[in-house]
Structure 1
């Protein structure tokens, strides 16, 4: 009888300890133990998307989503992508719920079945054409015979570069295809490496890559994207339709947090540069110089970019990247920004 009683008491003590651990644990290491769902983010290591990094760095994402039954951990719930094309493939596969990504690859993905909506703007302009230091440039005509690396087909940079070259009556080829300018698809790391090795003549990349090339003596900026296409949209905040349907209040909270982070970066550009440097492989000096000298702007209001994004639809149709024209309602849901700013 005594042995049975001792065993019963020990079982009660162990059960109490387990219960206490379950009640006091923070749940961040194992979302399943708290019943919280994991929210997965996608982003790119560009100064265009520092709003995402600032919100994660300061714990704002975790703070705002937990009341809605979600958690996120940068060690396992964020995925960094070199460009928007693979990021949209990941979203199509259901691997990410929220994406900081260029508007153009969103259009390409939506046309192939992605179910998601742009709920906020992130940034405009901010990419640059960089040529080898010894190449003379006075006009687009000087690009004839050159090889330029940019992001893959369907991305912002690819779309803008091809449209601009066409407007200047310059034909584009790829590798062995005939063209006055060869355009090669590359991520930022590969493009910078190829430029440094003088394997290509130029790049058209988002910041801070142009500044990196200039500061390292491997290039000179000759045209900013805002000159090619004034006030053009670039990055956006994209949310899956599934998340919108399951938890629209959470989506409003995400947009509020993005607005907060954008405003913080605008008011504190030096700290934004430090956050970016700590989040990526770039130095603070490169980040700070890029933010000070780019032609881009951090924004959040999606109404500012609707016309520009719809123009991308027309351009991508002309380039053969999409088969069907998308409507504004198929691309945007402006209601979340309205709710986020009305409270």
Structure 2
């Protein structure tokens, strides 16, 4: 199977604000409920531009590979990829408003979108695992000795609760952290303090500054900390306490899946190709990652993170269905969902089956 070609000219790219202005100019932003069952807001029955939203992070590694290798450049319609990192808009909000056709998001935002009746489904997974619990070396030693009781021991020694910094409450990282603390360890909300922060940078800075004692975080941070001999240690990983734990996914609008199946197939096919490249030629995948991260991540560290045992990169959405059910249960326990959401509402494996059969 063709694993892609080196990047030549690149798909169109733009800022989040530019994307929204383009859609407003094209005829207004539709509401989420108004999009259900309607044709594309991109121009009646035709799909003039396929809008893809992403952030340059490891849970969306397949898109970084596709983008770096121009894998979507031959798709008709043209593809406009928007990097939402450090922008004023949120991918889920832009998708819900009708600005986005394909969104690379975490599984928990995808669950919430389906809970709210927003049209679209997960047509490809990106990974299982991918997250590690990283703590100070002091606490790691306590955990080795006391297990779950290490949190009480830490509080007795320091006169305060152990402090985690992690992503916002609706994020995959937060839900996984609470699953580990509440269900796996039985520590509960009163046993620790959890500070929710917006973005990889603030979480990393909180950890390195000593503001936090630990975090649950994805690559490349665990690899970078190890490489720099930082005084932190991984004490567990998501795959150890949740089988087939989900991370990032590709969420595709119904208007693409239903009205333009040839486009849907082409995008998922390139996703499958990207997954094969990541698993079979990680050094080439690392080039895409390093390019996306810039000076923040060397090629060598990027390759180490791509090869990390934390993650298993996949495309088949069925690979994360069981883990998603666990996330749904935890989100309900946390009060993030008022009603249950069935995985058949979230996933559409038919496109993947079509392109791999």
Q: Which secondary structure state, in structure 1, belongs to the residue aligned with residue 170 of structure 2?
A: coil
CA distance in structure 2 between the partners assigned to 1:36 and 1:311 by the alignment: 36
1:332 has 2:332 as partner: no
1:125 has 2:142 as partner: no
8 Å CA contact 2:277–2:284 kept in 1: the answer is: no
Q: Which secondary structure state, in structure 2, belongs to the residue aligned with residue 293 of structure 1?
A: coil
- Name the counterpart of 1:192: 204
- Name the counterpart of 1:147: 163
- RMSD of aligned alpha carbons: 2.6
Q: Deviations over 1:177-231 (max 9, x none)?
A: xx21111112211010111111111111111122223333152211111112132
- Name the counterpart of 1:318: 333
8 Å CA contact 2:148–2:186 kept in 1: the answer is: no
Q: Which runs of 5+ in 1 are unaligned?
A: 1-25, 173-178
- Name the counterpart of 2:215: 203
8 Å CA contact 2:11–2:72 kept in 1: the answer is: no
Alignment of 1:208-227 (within 5 A): 208-216=220-228, 217-227=230-240
- Name the counterpart of 2:69: 58
Q: Deviations over 1:82-137 (max 9, x none)?
A: 79x94322321223221222212210222123211011121100101111233333
Decide whether aligned partners of structure 1 residues 29 and 324 sit closer, same or farther in structure 2, where only a CA change above 3 A counts. closer
- Name the counterpart of 1:239: 252
- Name the counterpart of 1:5: none
Moved more, 105-114 or 161-170: 105-114
- Name the counterpart of 1:157: 173
- Name the counterpart of 1:279: 292
- Name the counterpart of 1:106: 110
Decide whether aligned partners of structure 1 residues 210 and 28 sit closer, same or farther in structure 2, where only a CA change above 3 A counts. closer
Task: Tell me by how many angstroms 1:29 deviates.
Answer: 9.3
- Name the counterpart of 1:40: 51
CA distance in structure 2 between the partners assigned to 1:252 and 1:327 by the alignment: 24
8 Å CA contact 2:58–2:219 kept in 1: the answer is: yes
Moved more, 145-154 or 206-215: 206-215
CA distance in structure 2 between the partners assigned to 1:295 and 1:27 by the alignment: 30
Aligned residue pairs total 301
1:292 has 2:307 as partner: yes
Q: In structure 2, which of residues 187, 198, 210 is the aligned counterpart of residue 170 of structure 1?
A: 187
Moved more, 195-204 or 93-102: 93-102
CA radius of gyration, larger in: 1
Moved more, 179-188 or 130-139: 130-139
CA distance in structure 1 between the partners assigned to 2:329 and 2:206 by the alignment: 32
CA distance in structure 1 between the partners assigned to 2:117 and 2:100 by the alignment: 15
CA distance in structure 1 between the partners assigned to 2:121 and 2:324 by the alignment: 13
Decide whether aligned partners of structure 1 residues 147 and 60 sit closer, same or farther in structure 2, where only a CA change above 3 A counts. same
TM-score by length of 1: 0.80
Decide whether aligned partners of structure 1 residues 190 and 259 sit closer, same or farther in structure 2, where only a CA change above 3 A counts. same
Alignment of 1:49-88 (within 5 A): 49-63=60-74, 65-66=75-76, 70-73=77-80, 77-81=81-85, 86-88=90-92
Q: Which secondary structure state, in structure 2, belongs to the residue aligned with residue 89 of structure 1?
A: helix
- Name the counterpart of 1:96: 100
Task: Tell me by how many angstroms 1:310 deviates.
Answer: 2.4
Moved more, 89-98 or 183-192: 89-98
Q: Which runs of 5+ in 2 are unaligned?
A: 1-9, 15-21, 27-45, 153-160
8 Å CA contact 2:56–2:64 kept in 1: the answer is: no
Decide whether aligned partners of structure 1 residues 36 and 318 sit closer, same or farther in structure 2, where only a CA change above 3 A counts. closer
